[in-house]
Amino acid sequence: MCLALVVGCNEEDTVLTSQQEQIVRYLTSSHNPRLIAEQEVPNSMVANPPFYERINTSVYRYIATYYDAGRSSKRKVKVGDEVELIFEAYEFTGNAPSLNALYYTNNADLIAKLEENGLNTEFWTAEPLKVKIGSGDIIKGIETSLIDCREGDVVEVYLAYDMAYDKHVVGVVPSKSSVVWAYQIKSVSDN
């Protein structure tokens, strides 16, 4: 029995490590724009280089609007705030997210495109997703990624399975899947 536990733990560690490496490899090579790690920003020869942040071992965040004028004066997300998001959620395959990997969205344009392709989106809504930070109403990696973002930010978040759905099968997302969410923060308010 001990051997089975050790083998099981080693397989999970291997899956997690593999997903973390795949995410970094994608962000630094295939992602458009190609990103550098946040720690490399001071050494960059490029002004305002696009970069990703590794928030913890399994949450990687890229804020596309990071250098936008006026961003620093916009409301920052903190625990207890309510945010409204327009988002797209994909299973991460190591490549750029595609409609084939999309498992949920509230983006009206994408919903319309999916309907044109024959998908029944009857139970999908184009209303912004409301999330209270700290309530646990959303997967932990997304909640973690929202903290310190700002109203209006356009963000991509890459999650290894332990910060996404863990070992659970959720809808069409298999157990131990890494995911990517792309979202825009429409509003931030105290609650």
The average pLDDT across 113-139 equals 92
Closest CA to 163 of 135, 140, 137: 140
Domain that holds residue 66: 2-189
pLDDT of 86: 98
Q: What is the pTM of this model?
A: 0.90
Could you tell me the two tokens for 177? 């899947």
pLDDT of 19: 95
Alpha-carbon dihedral sign for residues 26, 10, 166, 172: positive
Task: Kindly report the average pLDDT of the chain as a whole number.
Answer: 91
Structure-derived torsion over alpha carbons of residues 158, 73, 75, 145, reported in degrees to the nearest 10: 10
Number of domains in the chain: 1
pLDDT of 90: 96
The average pLDDT across 146-157 equals 98
Q: Which residue has the higher pLDDT, 169 or 102?
A: 102
71 exposed, middle or buried (CB, 10 Å; 0-12, 13-18, 19+)?
middle
pLDDT of 168: 74
pLDDT of 81: 97
pLDDT tens figures, 63-107: 999 999 999 999 999 999 999 999 999 999 999 999 889 999 999
pLDDT of 1: 47
- Band of residue 165 on the pLDDT scale cut at 50, 70, 90: confident
What percentage of residues in the chain have a pLDDT greater than 90?
80
- For residue 103, the domain's CATH number is 3.10.50.40
pLDDT tens figures, 5-52: 444 456 668 999 999 999 999 999 999 999 999 999 999 999 999 999
pLDDT of 5: 44
For residue 129, give the 3-state DSSP assignment.
strand
